[in-house]
Amino acid sequence: MKNQATLFLKTLALSILISTVVPRLANAQESTTVKILPQPGYYNMQIGDLPVTVLSDGTNPLDMAQLLLNAKPGELKSGFAESFLSTTVESSDNEFLIRTDGKLILVDAGSGDLLGASFGQLTKSLQNAGVQPEQIDAVLLTHLHPDHVGGLMRNGKMVFPNATIYIAKAESDFWLIPEALKNAPAAYKPFFEYAQNAALPYAKAGKLKAFKSGDVLFPGITALGSAGHTAGHTSYVIESNGDKLLILGDLIHAQAVQFADPGIAIGYDSDPKEAVSTRRRVFDDAVKGKYLVAGSHLSFPGVGHIKANGNGYLWIPVNYSTIVPK
């Protein structure tokens, strides 16, 4: 476990370092196909009786050639080129708002101020969708990486002062116990500090609940353990009236290549081998069940279906029809 944690932190530190020095879109081929312009940052849909809004925390350029593991020679360049992309892609950070039982439930909190100015837009997107942070009743966390917890706190204040945060016990045990920070090598302490600074103020206020896989957290929302990316990584099943959406969390990062070759892992995975087998297990079930899935880092809004395709999968994004309110 300690070795895995060390490897993970080493790659995470390296990755974040690399991602911050990649020139924004300067050399990216995708600029020839679409110029990205500002968006409102939210997307409304409905799962059975439950309104679900996908929210954007923004995007950030990531050099996937530096981050992805296990790819065959030439596989990344040709895989991204197939999608009219270079290996430096503008990566989405998506969060989800679910209305159930009269409550407003958020899945993940975005980056806050931790990862640069192009991220940290969740609060703005939420307000654009007509919801104030104070109205949020619960924040369900997929895991405690900075792009998922950073937005819990800003300027020393709780961003969601009336919310209880929900974390899988395995995840809180890994990141939040005092020994975790004490035992972490000096270079990697910041990542434990990010997690603790974000979550512990809620814990101290009696607003942290731990859960285990299979727990029904709210009507229509069930936790599904999907460890590998982190020790207690959790996906969330949203079900209502025969409709189903599985919020994957970080089971996939590079849609242009990891559907076709799910054996490709990413340096952010704390246990790349387990991450790969979890991806296959969860994706196989989604293929069989034909239900919708959504990913934190699939291109916003990151919602669609998965089909089997040879040894891998095919990603079919939903038809993004737009109904303009009268």
**100 or 230: CB nearest Zn ion:** 230
**133 or 146: CB nearest Zn ion:** 146
Give the span between the Cα atoms of 56 and 323, in whole angstroms: 19
Segment 72 to 131, residues that bind Zn ion, using CB under 5 A = none
**4 or 29: CB nearest Zn ion:** 4
* Candidate segments 39-47, 61-69, 142-150, 152-160, binder of Zn ion by CB under 5 A: 142-150
Number of residues that bind Zn ion (CB under 5 A): 2
* Nearest residue to 254 via CA among 44, 75, 57: 75
| Selected binder of Zn ion within 147, 171, 269, 274 (CB under 5 A) | 147
Residue at token pair 């009336």: 162
Both tokens of 245, joined, read 């959406």
* Candidate segments 44-52, 144-152, 188-196, 211-219, binder of Zn ion by CB under 5 A: 144-152
Per-residue DSSP letter, 133: G
Adjacency order of strands within the sheet including 42-47: 42-47, 50-63, 88-100, 103-107, 138-140, 164-168, 208-211
**50 or 192: CB nearest Zn ion:** 192
Closest approach, Cβ 148 to Zn ion, in A, equals 6
* Candidate segments 53-61, 121-129, 214-222, 243-251, binder of Zn ion by CB under 5 A: 243-251
**108 or 239: CB nearest Zn ion:** 108
* Candidate segments 22-30, 39-47, 118-126, 246-254, binder of Zn ion by CB under 5 A: 246-254
Both tokens of 56, joined, read 């954007």
* 250 forms part of the interface with Zn ion (CB under 5 A): yes
* Candidate segments 29-37, 68-76, 140-148, 313-321, binder of Zn ion by CB under 5 A: 140-148
**52 or 149: CB nearest Zn ion:** 149
**145 or 207: CB nearest Zn ion:** 145
Contact partners, residue 223, CB within 8 Å, separation at least 6: 140, 166, 168, 211, 212, 213, 214, 215, 217, 234, 235, 236, 237
Closest approach, Cβ 265 to Zn ion, in A, equals 14
Phi and psi of 161, rounded to 5°? -65, -20
Burial (CB < 10 A; 0-12, 13-18, 19+), residue 128, is middle
Give the span between the Cα atoms of 64 and 52, in whole angstroms: 30
What residues make contact with Zn ion under the rule CB under 5 A?
147, 250
